[in-house]
Amino acid sequence: MEPALLYLLSKKERAHGYDLIAQANELAICDTVVDAAAVYRVLRQMEEGGLAQSDWDTSGGGPAKRVYEITPAGEEHLKAWADTLRRRAQSMLDFAGECDSLP
């Protein structure tokens, strides 16, 4: 969930949590529907870790809504995630190739 949220935040200047949930559901990296509570839990953890920050959006009608944005540390962490995922993907391809060569 964390790399997906960091990626989504990197694509926008700021985003509401419900927008991130909808966009995460559109990504092809999740096998199931994204749980809203899990998204907000990960967003809080990312804030605590300095990967994201948020403030209150009081514009418009209705109650204030929290908006999130990625921090420079979050951008670096996303790059590290991308490297890790790239290595894992290559390892999986290598493994599948090995399995294909079995008798």
Q: Domain limits of the chain? A: 2-100
Question: What does DSSP assign to residue 28?
Answer: T
**What kind of fold does domain 2-100 have according to CATH?**
Arc Repressor Mutant, subunit A (1.10.10)
pTM of the model: 0.82
Res 93: pLDDT: 94
More confident residue, 26 or 71: 71
pLDDT tops 70 at residue 95: yes
Res 86: pLDDT: 94
Cβ contacts of 20 within 8 Å, gap of 6 or more: 5, 8, 9, 39, 43, 68
| pLDDT tens figures, 25-50 | 888 665 667 888 989 999 999 999 99
Res 60: pLDDT: 76
